[in-house]
Structure 1
Amino acid sequence: MSLKTLSPMTTFADPKLKDICNQNLRKQLNNLLNQLPENELQQALQNSFNTLVAQILSDKLPHTQLVDLFADAYENLLASYDKAELTESEKMTSYINATGLVMSVENAVHTFQDIYRVQAFLRGIHQALAEKKDSEAVYIVYPACGPCAPLLLPLISYYASRDIDRQRLKITLIDIQPGAVKALNKLISDLDIADYIHEVLCCDVMDFQPNYKIDVLVMEALQHGFTREGHLAFARHLVPFLSEDAIMLPEKITVTASLNIGQREYVDQWANQERSHSSLVDQDIQNERSVLGEVFSLSLDKLHKLTIIPLGDGMELVECNQVQIPKGIENINKTSLLLSVTATTFGNEQIKEYDSGITHPLCDMSVCIDFVPKAAEPDDLLVKSGDWLKFYYKLSGTPGFLPTVA
């Protein structure tokens, strides 16, 4: 079974937002950014962030209106990022450490294009902070926040413009990349929100040990299929530092398994679409899926109850659920295992399947159902209809799910 013939999957990012990257490069080449005084650039950034947040907090906006607001804010964000004057090494360095991928700063800054992810977090955090309205001080920690902390700082800029909670909120931003911290400090200055910032730390999240209790933990360090980055490892490390009534965003992450033919899921479904989104899925193709069930979920409650299996040499496995491969499915040997993430940031705010880069279904090509591959790979798992699949989660430099035959 091969997906080599499939065309690239439709992206979550609206084409207009991707075009802004090219526009920004042209501006740099023509030195247009230097024609505006620094204070005018800062004011444009603040205004665009504040308008964006005011609109998305008031209502769920039509896609075109949301794109226009994000496009304006994104362009001004890139101007601030450029003014930080990172070196090539500070921008482009990426590597694997003990908990997973450390993304390059250049790639991380463009996560602002993932508009439905950003929207769900900004709305969710705003609601979560309302739950803390009676607290004298609220310590917020945002680990692995990248160069622009996009899930939080636009909201804080909006608060600053209205002088909301200036003395109550105490924010800690953490990133392991020196370039990210450099860009963060520039952005904090440009947004004029230093009063809200408790500290900006350049360190590995696993080395962070605060001398205060965390009231709100904002974290998104994962890629599709709950893979590649250290989200679960970070969450486990930070649990002892949470206050008794702490809120973790997302409140819940759920990973489900299903089967579908790759051509149908990834190509045919999006052939006539410019972008992917839960509202644009083809219901007929979705009905072709065989849903196997929940593989794993993460919440504060579940975080305290994880079953950990140590394997030595720093490798640990988290025991997850098991699901059964159904019998009697026509052409099941042509299907692939899909792992899909949905996330509830807070309350009713959700990032559904296909809404974001982190919720695109991940195709696990190692699971071979009712067939033997002609060109076998070392990690191929041969299973039959009716077998049970038991899942484990790898806590290592390559985090992700390990399916086994139960």
Structure 2
Amino acid sequence: MEAHSSQSIASLQYADPQVDELLKHSIRTQLESLLKAKLTTEQRQLLLQKSFVDAMTLVLSYAKVEHLQLVKVFDNMYEQAVQSMAFAQLSQEQLTRQYVSASGLIMSPHNCKHTIKDVYRIKGYARGIDLAIQSKLKHASSITILYPACGPFAPLLLPLLSYYKDSQIFTSKQINVILVDVHPGAILSLQQLVKDLQLDDFILRIEAADATEYEPAESIDLLVLEAMQHGFTKEGQLSIAKHLVQFLTLDGWMIPQNISVRGEMVIGETEFNQQWKGMDYSHSLNTNESAQNNRVELGEILSINKSTLLNMQELELQDGVKVIPANQIMLPNDIQDMNKRILVIYAHINTFADEEVGQYDCGVTHPRPDMTFYIDTKPRDIEHTHFVANGGDTVQFYYQLTGLPGFIPAKV
């Protein structure tokens, strides 16, 4: 007994704070699900289905909807989805395992579950996907949609399918969906969520596979993909899109239709602090005109769409590292305070037609500072990671595909 007590105390003394926080979250989620268990399965599923439909009803409404109203319904959708995840009974490892694959970061279900409450990301995608589906079904009796790297909740599509089923706008005979994710925990969560939403008829299959290697048996009409972080870094969006674009039909579409990755030189205090004083939340509609005018635009670094992907050439360097040549940019040489500015890289996402996710609209479009990029100045201690250039220099950008993706500048 004494030995057992000593062992227990020792294990407590060496607890990992991060793991412990995740364990508390898991316990809390399980306890909340037990409270919900007082509801019948049917009652729980109806609440879940209603939360998804309510969110999409607001998103697809072209009437003005207040920000706080959107946040409220999205938070409810998130809470209901997390309850469904609890019923999937993921182990601690299945919930929290996160790692770097050959093509980028594979996020844990615990970390990527929050995407479903990222209001303006979901809004921009859902409205774009809705328009694309409507357009396709005007000329076809049915379509096949592939959604790789979809995470535990497939948030860009499952809420929309719930809305279609509830409103009977489209049926499962018209829309066939393939969901793909490499994470075992995401697959278990997806299976439970699809069952709880009663969307089985819309889902051709849920596949556990690496999206950069997956080969669908069917021709794909719509490829829906969002596997990126701010600054177009870390995750494997480009590697996945480059591989799967070949499976689109000749008139098939990618969602998003275009991602424009751009660079600008900013004064950090103006861009990230002063600009947002007095604002309740960041959004492209809330940017400050004075701060915008204070930027120095460098231009587009990379454009990702069906055409550029099909024509994209890889360079393989030593040790098998693969890069994509991006654009060349000539640095401006007439900016007096350039030595005080930092490079920020951001993505502007056109999902379909006029629907978009603009700068600051969500986590993936926030400008990302690059503190290793210097123009007209030098760091006190130059490290191998630093890039130093002068106004008037031409910079060739490359995009690293292997490991953690991101941009690498080189002087021409």
Q: Give the TM-score normalised by structure 1.
A: 0.91
Distance 1:113 1:323 in 2: 36
Letter in 2 for 1:186: Q
When structure 1 is superposed on structure 2, of 335-344 and 75-84 the one drifting more is 75-84
**Alpha-carbon displacement from aligned partner over 1:170-221 (angstroms, at most 9, x marks no partner):** 1100011100000000000010000000010111112211121111000001
SS at 1:295 equivalent: strand
Paired residues of 1:27 and 1:33 also in contact (CA < 8 A): no
Distance 1:136 1:312 in 2: 49
**Alpha-carbon displacement from aligned partner over 1:340-378 (angstroms, at most 9, x marks no partner):** 110010011110000010000011111111222113222
SS at 1:165 equivalent: coil
Unmatched segments (≥5 aa) in structure 2: 1-23
Distance 1:358 1:279, change over 3 A: same
2:223 paired with 1:217: yes
Letter in 2 for 1:49: F
Where relative contact order (Cα < 8 A, 6+ residues apart) is larger, the structure is 1
Unmatched segments (≥5 aa) in structure 1: 1-20
Corresponding residue of 2:113: 109
Distance 2:85 2:216 in 1: 28
Percent identity over the alignment is: 37
Match of 2:390 among 370, 381, 384: 384
Match of 2:211 among 205, 208, 218: 205
Distance 2:120 2:167 in 1: 24
Letter in 1 for 2:411: V
Corresponding residue of 2:302: 296
Distance 1:125 1:29, change over 3 A: closer
Paired residues of 2:342 and 2:373 also in contact (CA < 8 A): yes
Corresponding residue of 1:15: none
Distance 2:29 2:253 in 1: 42
Corresponding residue of 2:6: none
**Alpha-carbon displacement from aligned partner over 1:10-67 (angstroms, at most 9, x marks no partner):** xxxxxxxxxxx99x94883694222222211100011111122122212252212211
Corresponding residue of 1:66: 70
Q: Give the TM-score normalised by structure 2.
A: 0.90
Shift of the alpha carbon at 1:258? Answer: 0.6
* Number of residue pairs aligned between Structure 1 and Structure 2: 385
When structure 1 is superposed on structure 2, of 325-334 and 151-160 the one drifting more is 325-334
Letter in 1 for 2:42: N
SS at 1:205 equivalent: coil
Distance 1:263 1:114 in 2: 25
Paired residues of 2:232 and 2:261 also in contact (CA < 8 A): yes
Paired residues of 2:265 and 2:343 also in contact (CA < 8 A): yes
Letter in 2 for 1:156: L
Paired residues of 1:252 and 1:344 also in contact (CA < 8 A): yes
SS at 1:220 equivalent: coil
Rg larger in structure: 2
Match of 2:35 among 20, 32, 35: 32
Match of 2:330 among 324, 342, 351: 324
2:58 paired with 1:55: yes
SS at 2:45 equivalent: helix
Shift of the alpha carbon at 1:314? Answer: 3.0
Shift of the alpha carbon at 1:333? Answer: 0.6
2:280 paired with 1:277: no
Distance 1:260 1:70, change over 3 A: same
Distance 1:161 1:57 in 2: 14
Letter in 2 for 1:203: A
